[in-house]
Amino acid sequence: MRETFPLFPQQASTLAPRVDALYFYLIAVTIFFSLLIALSILYFAIKYRRRSESELPRGVEGSLKLEIAWSVIPLLITFSFFIWGASIFFAMNRPPSDAIEISVVAKQWMWKFQHADGQREINELHVPIGQAVKLTMASEDVIHSFYVPAFRMKRDVLPGKVATYWFEPTRRGRYHLFCAEYCGTKHSGMIGWVEVMDPVDFQSWLAGGTGSESLASAGAKLFVQHACNTCHRPDSLARGPNLEGLFGKKVQLQDGRTIVADESYIRESIVMPNAKTVAGFQPIMPTFQGLISEEGLLQLVAYVKSLSKAAPSPEGVAPPVQNSPPRSEAKK
Ligand code: CUA
């Protein structure tokens, strides 16, 4: 019966049962109070109905106890929504540190994926079961929204920003992927599948790829190609901040603010370098808006991230520093 008329999509991620449990709790509370109020209205309407034309109602004294009760009890109940909801919200927004990373570029009207080792796919995403997957998502044109009902995940992908999200699949199978934000004529066709595989099958699927280069090494090439390394360097000729070990760290800005160097900040610093100038540097970096594709930007972000992971620098490309500061595993 459930298979023929499914009321709910399958629960295929670690977060799905948690989201559903909260949802059912909200429904239960709603049903309870709807009945309580409706039945009370009915009961009081009958009990205190006017019995004769001349009847005058008695005056009603207030009751402090009652008023406190109907204020405090609903307060506690709504707090339970908030605390439960916030705990799921935090879990959704904190990818585990062992998550594999996949970059996603949305455009009218397709989803483009690139795995960390370079394997690309369109409208289809292969992931291993039981492994957290972190998505780094950007849009080439308008607002799209990455939506996989079976994972209970939906995240808007806005142009000019990097959105991150994660999930950990718990069931094998193929799950529908939608775009959940109206994005033009073929919005309804901007769909695909997420295929959850056994880790062994996933490895052989990855190995059967076209052997394109990894995200970070593609980013490293762009870094040299656009001569970023002429300014972002460790020696006295450096005119831009040192990028090694930067990702996930706090950065002091010219205007006194402090921000965390995350994906969005790194992307923004490439296309709008003067939006948040780092303290101690001149706002002299030219913009690369329009010069680097959205995919290229995500590759550069992956490269900057790789400089904080104690990963060996991609072959043939010198890292921007030699004397590295203490490396950090710091993650957002
Ligand atoms: Cu993309 Cu709707």
Atom of ligand 1 nearest to the CA of 188: 2
Alpha carbon of 191 to ligand 1 centroid (Å) = 9
Q: What is the pLDDT of residue 13?
A: 93
Alpha carbon of 142 to ligand 1 centroid (Å) = 8
| Distance from the Cα of residue 55 to its chain's centroid | 64
Asked whether the beta carbons of 317 and 224 are under 8 A apart, the reply is yes
pLDDT in tens, the chain (332 residues): 456 777 888 899 999 999 999 999 999 999 999 999 999 999 999 998 888 888 888 888 888 999 999 999 999 999 999 999 999 999 998 989 889 989 999 998 899 998 888 788 889 999 999 999 999 999 988 999 999 999 998 999 998 888 889 999 999 999 999 999 999 899 999 999 999 999 998 888 887 766 567 778 778 888 887 778 777 877 777 778 878 878 888 888 888 888 888 888 888 888 888 788 888 787 778 787 777 887 888 888 888 888 887 544 444 444 444 344 444 444 33
Atom of ligand 1 nearest to the CA of 187: 2
Joined together, the tokens standing for residue 193 give 């599948």
Atom of ligand 1 nearest to the CA of 108: 1
Q: How far, in Å, CA of 69 to CA of 302, rounded?
A: 55
Q: What is the pLDDT of residue 321?
A: 41
Residue from 203, 29, 31 nearest 131 by CA: 203
Atom of ligand 1 nearest to the CA of 182: 2
Residue from 212, 213, 237, 215 nearest 304 by CA: 215
Asked whether the beta carbons of 16 and 24 are under 8 A apart, the reply is no
Q: How far, in Å, CA of 145 to CA of 254, rounded?
A: 34
Atom of ligand 1 nearest to the CA of 183: 2
Give 169's strand partners.
13
Q: What is the pLDDT of residue 74?
A: 92
Transcribe 25-87 into DSSP letters.
HHHHHHHHHHHHHHHHHHHHHHHT---STT--PPP----HHHHHHHHHHHHHHHHHHHHHHHH
Question: Which amino acids bring their CB within 6 angstroms of ligand 1?
Answer: 109, 144, 179, 181-183, 187, 190
Q: What is the pLDDT of residue 52?
A: 85
Q: How far, in Å, CA of 138 to CA of 43, rounded?
A: 57
Peptide bond before 70: cis, by omega within 30 degrees of 0? Answer: no
Asked whether the beta carbons of 125 and 102 are under 8 A apart, the reply is yes
Q: Is 272 exposed, middle or buried (0-12, 13-18, 19+ CB in 10 A)?
A: middle
Alpha carbon of 311 to ligand 1 centroid (Å) = 36
Alpha carbon of 193 to ligand 1 centroid (Å) = 15
Asked whether the beta carbons of 133 and 169 are under 8 A apart, the reply is yes
Asked whether the beta carbons of 270 and 222 are under 8 A apart, the reply is no
Alpha carbon of 138 to ligand 1 centroid (Å) = 13
Atom of ligand 1 nearest to the CA of 143: 1
Q: What is the pLDDT of residue 318?
A: 41
Q: How far, in Å, CA of 74 to CA of 77, rounded?
A: 5
What's the CA angle centered on 234, arms 260 and 309, to 5 degrees? 50
> In degrees rounded to 5, what are phi and psi of residue 304?
-60, -40
Q: What is the pLDDT of residue 316?
A: 40
Alpha carbon of 107 to ligand 1 centroid (Å) = 8
What is the enclosing helix (H) or strand (E) of 105? strand 100-107
Could you write out the three-class secondary structure of 231-268?
CCCCCCCCCCCCCCCCCCCEEEECCCCEEECCHHHHHH
Alpha carbon of 192 to ligand 1 centroid (Å) = 12
Which residue bears the tokens 């990028």?
243
Asked whether the beta carbons of 330 and 308 are under 8 A apart, the reply is yes
Q: What is the pLDDT of residue 332?
A: 37
Atom of ligand 1 nearest to the CA of 179: 2
Alpha carbon of 143 to ligand 1 centroid (Å) = 7
Q: How far, in Å, CA of 274 to CA of 287, rounded?
A: 8
Q: What is the pLDDT of residue 329?
A: 42
Ligand 1 atom 1 nearest Cα: 144
What is the rounded radius of gyration, in angstroms, for the C-alpha atoms of the chain?
A: 27
Q: How far, in Å, CA of 286 to CA of 55, rounded?
A: 84
Alpha carbon of 218 to ligand 1 centroid (Å) = 27
